[in-house]
Structure 1
Amino acid sequence: MPAKSILYGADWCKKTIAIQGYFEERDLDFHYIDVEKSEEAMQAIKDMNRGRVRFPMVVIGEGTPMKNPSPEELDTALEEKG
């Protein structure tokens, strides 16, 4: 069973939309969290980025958070965690 993926982003962000598309095109299970609708999520991305607001962020399983990962980076991370 592949590791659970979490995508932190915003509905208006083109990079967030692209990563959502990546997961959906591959029929991969992921949880999307809109950081603009959750103070807890906003704090989580600040914690991942030394206090700065940067997204999209992807966390796969217990792996290291990835800021705006490319499809190739996601492929590699999923292979390692899957």
Structure 2
Amino acid sequence: MEPVVLYGTSWCAQTQLLRRHLERLGVPYRYVDLELHPEVHPTLRFLTGGRLSHPVVYVGGEVLVEPTLSELERALWRRGYLWRPW
């Protein structure tokens, strides 16, 4: 299974909300802080069609730009990270 990657910043409330939600769901993920790792900005721009948006979640080949909790859960379910539908 491909890793879930969350791109965001420490000061972004939505990023922190998504991090806590992934942890509550028990979904392993990698967090990339955009302020600490500016070298990923070109990759993120590529994934989002040119915008440097955050948070962005990469779920098994699917890119979610500024997702809601339910959008994230649906993507996790579609990709087999969750056993129950949202």
**TM-score for the superposition, normalised by structure 1:** 0.86
Alignment of 1:68-79 (within 5 A): 68-79=66-77
In the other structure, the counterpart of 2:38 is 39
In the other structure, the counterpart of 1:16 is 15
In the other structure, the counterpart of 1:7 is 6
Higher helix share goes to which structure?
1
**CA contact 1:22–1:71 (8 Å) conserved in 2:** yes
**TM-score for the superposition, normalised by structure 2:** 0.83
Q: Which runs of 5+ in 2 are unaligned?
A: 81-86
Give the number of the structure with larger relative contact order, counting CA–CA contacts within 8 Å between residues 6 or more apart.
Answer: 1
Count of aligned positions: 80
RMSD of aligned Cα (Å): 1.4
- For residue 3 of structure 1, report the CA deviation from its aligned partner: 4.6
% identity of equivalent residues: 28
From 56, 77, 80, the equivalent of 2:78 is 80
Residue 36 of structure 1 aligns to a residue in which SS? coil
In the other structure, the counterpart of 2:83 is none
